[in-house]
Amino acid sequence: MLKHLARGLLKLFGWKLIEPDAFPARAVLVGYPHTSNWDGVIALLVKWALGLDARWVGKDTLFRGPLNGIMRRLGGIPIDRSARHGFVAQMTAEFASRQGFLLVMAPEGTRSLTPGWKSGFYRIALAANVPVALAFVDYPRREAGILTYLTMTGDPATDIAAIATHYEGRQGKRPELAAPVRWLD
């Protein structure tokens, strides 16, 4: 029922849902561009519309107080961005312990403009040997969903170039805040 409701809401608001032919049971879903809080609302509707049991990563401050329970029920995993805590290893272990696990990450790490992408999603996908799903919200086209799934080669330059090709022309709500698709760290 939630799937039909989410599809109906997307259609009502003028959004076209883009879905791939197949959905692997395990993948890292990259959400790009991430330039507005509205991206999360649209992405949640897409998650429900596609019937994905996906977990998402968010800054730990989103999980404080009364929002904690709600955010976790929506699939949230808090992350403390102030220091390194072995997050890549933790998520790789999650993939190893489950037959089905979908992890959503924003490679920019913020809605603010950054000079490039963080590599955590890439390192997790390689270590867990899972594909990367290229999820998106494109405001000018009013499209949202998953463009494709890519298997990372282990060559960072080749892989980021392939990712950039698929995201070419996709724009967030505030395009001036979208990081270029290139490695930051």
Give the DSSP letter string of 39-104.
HHHHHHHHHHHTT--EEEEEEGGGGSTTHHHHHHHTTEEEE-TTS---HHHHHHHHHHH-SSEEEE
- Among 31-40, 57-66, 110-119, 140-149, the range with the most confident prediction by mean pLDDT is 140-149
Question: Exposed, middle or buried, 19 (CB in 10 Å: 0-12/13-18/19+)?
Answer: middle
Question: H-helix or E-strand containing 6?
Answer: helix 2-12
Confidence class for position 83, pLDDT limits 50, 70, 90: low
CA gap 68, 78 in Å, rounded: 9
Residue 14's pLDDT is 97
The pTM (predicted TM-score) of the whole model is: 0.86
The ranges assigned to domains in the chain are 2-177
Mean pLDDT of 103-110: 84
Mean pLDDT of 156-167: 97
Beta bridge partners of 103: 28, 55
Q: Is the pLDDT of residue 70 over 90?
A: no
Residue 11's pLDDT is 97
- The SS3 of residue 153 is coil
